[in-house]
C-alpha cells in the first residue's frame, strides 16, 4: 500500500510523483493503460459518429479497469476521488510516458521501483 499524505496537494508538480506512487505496481498501470485506451477510442467514436452512448461507455471503460486496479491490485483508493482533473491528466501523461519509453525514468524520479 502506498504512503498516505495528510496535507492536501496544492500543485500539479506535487501531484505527479504522488500519482506515480499510487500506481507503483505494473499490473495497476497495465489496467490503467487499457482503460485509458478504451476510453479514448470511445471518445473518438463519439466524435466520428455523434452517438451519445459513447459517453457512458467511455466512463465505464475508462474508470472501471482503473478502479479495479486500485482496489484489487494496488489496494489503495483512486486519486480520482480527491483530484479528478489532475488524475485524468495524469492518466494520459502516464500512458504517453509509457508509449515513448520514458515511464521508467518518471517512476524512478518519483521513487517508485519498476520491478513491482
Diameter of the chain by CA atoms? Answer: 45
**Confidence (pLDDT) at 6:** 59
Residue 115, domain member (yes or no): no
Query: Is residue 77, in this structure, part of any structural domain at all?
Result: yes
Q: What predicted TM-score, i.e. pTM, was given to this entire model?
A: 0.87
For residue 105, the number of C-alpha atoms closer than 13 Å in the C-beta half-sphere is 7
Residue 74: DSSP 8-state: I
The pLDDT score that the predictor gives to residue 115 is 56
Q: For residue 25, what is the DSSP state?
A: S
Number of domains in the chain: 1
Report the chain's mean pLDDT, rounded to a whole number. 92
For residue range 18-56, list pLDDT tens digits in order.
Answer: 999 999 999 999 999 999 999 999 999 999 999 999 999
The domain of 62 spans 21-109
Q: With a cut of 50, say whether residue 1 has pLDDT above it.
A: no
Q: Which stretches does DSSP call E strand in 22-92?
A: none
pLDDT above 50 for 2: no
Query: Residue 115 corresponds to which cell in the numbers above?
Result: 520491478
Measured between its terminal Cα atoms, the distance across the chain in Å is 12
Query: Does residue 14 lie within any of the structural domains?
Result: no
Amino acid at each position: 500500500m502506498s504512503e498516505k499524505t495528510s496535507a492536501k496537494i496544492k500543485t500539479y508538480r506535487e501531484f505527479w510523483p504522488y500519482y506515480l506512487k499510487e500506481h507503483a505496481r505494473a499490473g495497476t498501470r497495465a489496467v490503467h493503460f487499457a482503460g485509458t485506451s478504451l476510453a479514448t477510442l470511445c471518445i473518438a467514436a463519439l466524435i466520428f459518429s455523434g452517438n451519445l452512448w459513447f459517453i457512458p461507455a467511455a466512463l465505464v471503460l475508462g474508470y472501471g479497469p482503473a478502479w479495479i486496479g486500485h482496489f484489487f491490485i494496488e489496494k489503495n483508493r483512486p486519486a480520482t476521488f480527491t483530484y479528478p482533473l489532475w488524475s485524468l491528466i495524469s492518466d494520459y501523461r502516464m500512458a504517453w510516458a509509457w508509449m515513448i519509453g520514458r515511464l521508467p525514468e518518471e517512476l524512478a524520479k518519483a521513487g517508485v521501483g519498476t520491478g513491482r
